[in-house]
Amino acid sequence: MKKIALAGMLALGLTGCSSDDPQVLNLYNWSEYMPQEVLTRFQEETGIQVVYTTYDSNEAMYARLKLLDESAAYDLAVPSTYYVSKMRNEGLLMPIDKSKISGLDQVDPELTGLDIDPDNQYSVPYLWGTTGIGVDIADIEGEPVTAWEDLWGERFKGRVNLTNDMREVFHVGLRVLGYSGNSTDPQQIEEAYEKLTELMPSVRTFNSDAPRMPFLEGETDVGMIWNGEAVMGKESMESLEYVYPEEGVIAWLDSFVIPKNAKNPEAAHKFISFVLQPEIAALISEDIGYATPVLAARELLGDEVSGDRASYPAAEDMVNAEFQADIGDEALQIYARYWEKLKSGL
């Protein structure tokens, strides 16, 4: 009896066992964060096929990586600033073999050796950017929008977009109250929550897949947006402006990391080197509007890209800007509880 059952199970297992092609790179990235052309050219040059899957928040990426920890599902991921240190501290990452990476010396020294990963043992910067305010100037009347606080204005009822990112939304709430966006104080978090509930009647949607879309679709006029999304959105909607709010933008650096159990680290290293080539890095920055950390690439950019303050902010734009930091699991749980309540629209 048992043998029959076993045979059945085996037969099932066997039909599903496709031989794993070694020349595949499983890349786990934010949605809309890599031009298709880069993947195509990488495949043409190296013969390695990139399987590209996406996420819309660091939390989702982290949970999925942990979930698939043992099964070596991903070869390369792109966590934001504070998630690099979190994942590094938890031993989820594989050290990067710098001898296999070319072009590291080209990376902006201001974006390497940060606290999140002091010697860049585990991470290589991919792109950096900011979360500021997107404004459809054709659709708003009255005073120009200059601060996060303005989102609370009566005139934007039902017209505001927020990113679907717990930390970013609370960052805004905390900054408006004058606190740090990385607060771990339950009292401050609760205050931020109270402040954000006042914003909720104005909030039309949470979007982290492509925050430019609600603007293009005419659903929202104002709200949180990533600088690259604003740049991409402007291509099809001239009236979409990117504003650096007075309380300060949220700054982040997204880095390549290789999960501990990656099946094809070789390909992952190759891909990182590929993307660090000035020509490719410039192509990415031009196409999706975020700032590249590759210095040589910046020289290749046309004036309209390198001169675009949305992509490459001037020093005064970054006044009050705050990088996101790891706040620990305990504080995260507090955020998470308020976040769900906030989003349920009650």
Partner 1 sequence: MRWLPRTYLALVYLLLYVPIIVLVVFSFNDSRTGYSWGGLSLRWYESLFNNHAMVQAMWNSLWLALTAATVSTLIGALTALALHRYRFRGKKVLNGMLFVVMMSPEIVLAISLLGLFLLLGLKLGYVSLLLAHVTFCLPFVVITVMARLAGFDERLPEAARDLGASDFTMTRTVLIPVIMPALMAGWMLGFTLSMDDVVVSTFVSGPSYEILPLRIYSMVRVGLKPEVNALGTLLLVFSLVMLMFSHWILSRSKQ
Partner 2 sequence: MMLSIRQQPFRAAVLVLVWGWLLFLVLAPNLLVVGTSVMTRNPGTFISMPLNLDAYRQLFNPLYLEVFIHSLYMAAMTTLVCLLIGYPFAWALSRVEKRRQMLLIFLLIVPFWTNSLVRTYALKLILATNGLLNQGLMSLGIIDEPAQLLYTEGAVIVGLVYLLLPFMILPLYSVFDDLRQDVLLASHDLGAGRFATFKNVIVPLTLPGVLAGVMLVLLPAMGLFFVPDILGGSRNLLVGNVIKNQFLDARNWPFGAAASIMLTVAMALLMFAHRLSKRRLGEEGA
> Which residues contact partner 1 (rule: CB under 8 A)?
12-13, 15-18, 20, 26, 28, 31-32, 51-54, 56, 67-68, 70-71, 73-74, 209-210, 213, 216-217, 236
* Dist. CA 130–CA 124, nearest whole Å: 18
Tokens 């509880």, residue? 337
The smaller minimum CB distance to partner 1, of residues 16 and 47, is found at: 16
Residues 184-203 touching partner 2, rule: CB under 8 A, are 203
Q: Cα 231 vs. chain centroid, distance in angstroms?
A: 15
Residue 329 in contact with partner 2, rule: CB under 8 A? yes
For the chain, how far is it from start to end, CA to CA, in angstroms? 56
Task: Choose from partner 2, partner 1, none: what does 315 bind? Cβ within 5-8 Å by kind.
Answer: none
Give least dist CB 238 to partner 1, A: 15
Residue 336 in contact with partner 2, rule: CB under 8 A? yes
Task: Choose from partner 1, partner 2, none: what does 7 bind? Cβ within 5-8 Å by kind.
Answer: none
Residues 6 or more apart whose CB falls under 8 angstroms from that of 225 comprise 131, 132, 133, 134, 161, 163, 211, 212, 215, 233, 242
Give least dist CB 58 to partner 2, A: 9
Residue 266 in contact with partner 2, rule: CB under 8 A? no
Torsion-angle region of 10 (φ positive above 0: left; ψ -120 to 50: alpha; else: beta): alpha
Compute how many other C-beta atoms are within 10 angstroms of the C-beta atom of residue 78. 22
Taking alpha carbons only, the member of 306, 338, 285, 8 closest to residue 127 is 285
The smaller minimum CB distance to partner 2, of residues 187 and 344, is found at: 344
Q: Are 157 and 202 in contact (CB under 8 A)?
A: yes
The smaller minimum CB distance to partner 1, of residues 19 and 187, is found at: 19
Task: Choose from partner 2, partner 1, none: what does 204 bind? Cβ within 5-8 Å by kind.
Answer: partner 2
* Dist. CA 220–CA 149, nearest whole Å: 17
The smaller minimum CB distance to partner 1, of residues 214 and 278, is found at: 214
The smaller minimum CB distance to partner 1, of residues 12 and 315, is found at: 12
* Dist. CA 96–CA 123, nearest whole Å: 7
Given the rule CB under 8 A, which residues bind partner 2? Answer: 1-2, 4-5, 8, 57, 59-60, 63-64, 66-67, 90, 158, 164, 203-207, 214, 217-219, 329, 333, 336-337, 340-341, 343-346
